[in-house]
Amino acid sequence: MPQNRMRLKIVSAGESVLRQPARLLDPAEIHGGPIQELIAHMRETLRDAPGVGLAAPQVGQLVQLAIIEDLAEYHANLNAAQLAERERVPVPFHVVINPVLYLVTPPEIEFFEGCLSVPGYTAVVARSHRVRVQCLDQAGMPRSIEASGWYARILQHEIDHLNGTLYLDRMDTRTFCTLDNHARHWKTKSVAEVKAALSSKFDSSV
């Protein structure tokens, strides 16, 4: 892999590249210098952000490629109970190319979710607890991934990016808030408590 890495600009919501389906990569392209350099630069960008996943459209490249890495150090702001509830464990760096996502369970597990392309905000998003992904890896080799918990959520989020979808399209709109307000009001609350507090008080019978 090339040694000269650079941080790429992460595009934000409102850029058309985030709303278009990315094209499939030919296996021959995967081995080429441009894609291998893109992977290296994306890894540097993800570490710098920091984040747990980054899709090529987020750096302006409309190709079916995403990287994932959930380091143990990113879990420091969660206690043991929160980690267990989210089923969040460290996930080593890896690349998914041309992924096909299969939802093994219904999308009914709700947690707050953020995105590097929607900086400063978060919202509750329902995702499937278990997924299966068929894809190619960084070497262009076929790979089958079985994932659950937070890892499954990351995969769903990143693969959404490759299809022009943001978490904004799937969120519970009433829970959308700034990261500051999330930390101030909702960080220690359950999703059920948050949704109850932010639900509409309007009574149509009045």
Reference 64, options 117, 122, 21, 93; nearest CA is 21
Catalytic residue (choose from 69, 110, 113, 158)? 158
State the pairing for strand pair 177-178/121-128: antiparallel
Residue 115 Ramachandran class (φ > 0 left, ψ -120 to 50 alpha, else beta): beta
Asked whether the beta carbons of 195 and 175 are under 8 A apart, the reply is: yes
Q: Is the dihedral of CA 127, 129, 133, 138 positive or negative?
A: positive
Reference 132, options 149, 150, 141, 144; nearest CA is 144
Task: Report the C-alpha gap between 125 and 112 in whole angstroms.
Answer: 6
Is 110 annotated as catalytic?
no
* Side-chain-facing half-sphere of 14: CA atoms under 13 Å: 4
How many CB atoms lie under 10 A from the CB of residue 113? 21
Q: Which two tokens stand for residue 152?
A: 């499954």
Task: Report the C-alpha gap between 190 and 181 in whole angstroms.
Answer: 15
Catalytic residue positions, numbered: 158
